Amino acid sequence: MELKDYKIIVTGSARGMGAATVRAYVAAGAQVVGMDVARELGEQVAADATENGPGTATFLTADIADADSVNHAFDAAAQALGGLDVLAHPAAIQRSGDAASVTVDDWDLMMAVNVRGTMLTNQAAHRLMAPKKRGSIINFGSVSGLRSEPVAPAYSASKGAVHSWTRTAAGAWGADGVRVNAILPAIATPMYDEAIARLDEEGRTAHFWQNEQSIALGQKYGDPDHDLGPVMVFLASEASRFITGQLIPVDGGQTSVR
């Protein structure tokens, strides 16, 4: 019950790390509103989490790339919850490609969802948190934003932008009591499965040497509920009250050991 009565929005809540975060927060006693473009899955995740309790979760459809959609959904969530203490923001997309042939469409899509979506959701959360001088925003970066990424150049650039934004927002909003950090995960989710499925055998071998090989804790991606959930609870809670502006790998060592 570390998050008893906390009021929390989780984006990308329909699957992967967003769904695991909803489960972790409800299990810690929080009141959660999940948001996603995938309505049916999102409603199911919220219903299942509420059934297990002791907190509760509901769901709202929202497109994080669209300003009106974000502002409308955040206002409705804050009204239903009676405020906002925490934004967990895993929602994002990934597309493949290579540096020489990445298209304008893919580039713009990645920047709209991953970068603009982070700015819009963070601004909406800050607007609701600042008057109370308290809040925690948890963005999602990536090791892809720290290194060369041969098969996902636009995604990599978008995650580098999320890192920069996280530092800037943390610097700007510390005086308002609003903390902003980013998780850099290596966690087995549908996004990971889809990235692997796009690769041929040679690509999978290259993927192992670039990604799994350097995960010191077992050479495989982690579990969303067991390896990520408790960290999300910590970053939402007062236990992390003096941590802001940080890029925090939850990756079995991948980022440091590579």
Ligand X SMILES: NC(=O)c1ccc[n+]([C@@H]2O[C@H](COP(=O)([O-])OP(=O)(O)OC[C@H]3O[C@@H](n4cnc5c(N)ncnc54)[C@H](O)[C@@H]3O)[C@@H](O)[C@H]2O)c1
Handedness of CA 10, 74, 179, 254 (dihedral sign): positive
CB atoms within 10 A of CB 246: 16
Residue 185 binding ligand X, by CB under 6 A: yes
The catalytically annotated residue of 6, 155, 192, 221 is 155
Q: Which stretch binds ligand X (CB under 6 A): 23-31, 34-42, 77-85, 102-110?
A: 34-42
Is 93 a binding residue for ligand X by CB under 6 A? The answer is yes
Q: Which of 8, 30, 88, 92 binds ligand X (CB under 6 A)?
A: 92
Closest contact distance (angstroms) between CB of 111 and ligand X is 12
Residues 53-82 that bind ligand X (CB under 6 A): 62-65
Active site residue 155: yes
Residue 238 C-beta: closest distance to ligand X, Å: 24
Task: Give the interface segment with ligand X, choosing from 80-88, 124-132, 165-173, 182-190 (CB under 6 A).
Answer: 182-190
43 belongs to the binding site for ligand X (CB under 6 A):
no
In angstroms, give the least distance from the CB of 92 to ligand X.
3
Structure tokens at 188: 């087995």
Instruction: Lay out the site mask for ligand X across 217-236 (x = CB under 6 A, - = otherwise).
Output: ----x---------------
- What's the length of the chain? 258
What is the spatial distance between Cα 90 and Cα 139, in angstroms, rounded to a whole number? 6
Provide the CB-side half-sphere exposure for 42 (13 A, CA).
Answer: 21
Alpha helices in the chain (DSSP H): 16-27, 39-52, 67-81, 104-110, 117-129, 153-173, 190-197, 201-210, 229-236, 254-257
Among 18, 55, 160, 249, binds ligand X (CB under 6 A): 18
User: Can you give the C-alpha Rg of the chain in angstroms?
Assistant: 17
Among candidates 86, 90, 114, which has minimal Cα distance to 25? 86
Binding site for ligand X (CB under 6 A): 11-12, 14-18, 36-38, 62-65, 90-94, 113, 117, 140, 142, 185-187, 189-192, 221
Q: Known catalytic residues?
A: 155
